[in-house]
Amino acid sequence: MEQGRRTQQRSPREIIDNKKITSIERLAKRESAAIQKRHNSLYSDPADEVHAVVVVSKRYDDGGYWYAYHEDPQRKFLSQGKKGFLVLSMTDKEFAFAVPFHVLELVWNDLHQTVSDSGRIYKHLLTYEVDGKFHLRIRSVDTHLELDPYKV
């Protein structure tokens, strides 16, 4: 019996781009900074003090959202600003979460990860909603990081 090839259902590019724009505008307003796109998902202000990485996820069948957080360039870029934020945006929500870089660093070693054959690392950020509150799943059983304080 031949198994069918599984293909990922990707969100349309226009939806992703619009979510990135609205999410970075919300962060820029909150931080009173003129944050501009630098490359793909990397953003910074003209003084190069506020760095942000904006990633977008659709809601998966299990009700959660999944993001990849790459050591290079994303983590490296966030570390280079005075303030760094990983902005988790969702295709079906009108808000996002701007998680400070220093908070992510506290849980870096406890996030699920993939290491490629070349040694490149990316973390799996799995988020989910329980009773109207959003959480980031940590590798330790029944451990999570509450995301609601970072809502923009």
Token output for 117: 């054959």
> Quick one: pLDDT at residue 56?
96
> Quick one: pLDDT at residue 15?
86
The DSSP-derived string for the chain is -PPPPP---PPPHHHHHHHHHHHHHHHHHHHT---EEEETTEEE-TTS-EEEEEEEEPPPTTS-EEEEEEIIIIIHHHHTSSEEEEEEEETT-S-EEEEEHHHHHHHGGGSEEEE-TT--EEEEEEEEEETTEEEEE-SSTT-EEE-GGGB-
Token output for 68: 């990849």
From first to last of the 152 residues of the chain, give the pLDDT tens digit.
455 554 556 778 888 899 999 999 999 999 999 999 999 899 999 999 999 999 999 999 988 999 999 999 999 999 999 999 999 999 999 999 999 999 999 999 999 899 999 999 999 999 999 899 999 998 766 688 999 999 99
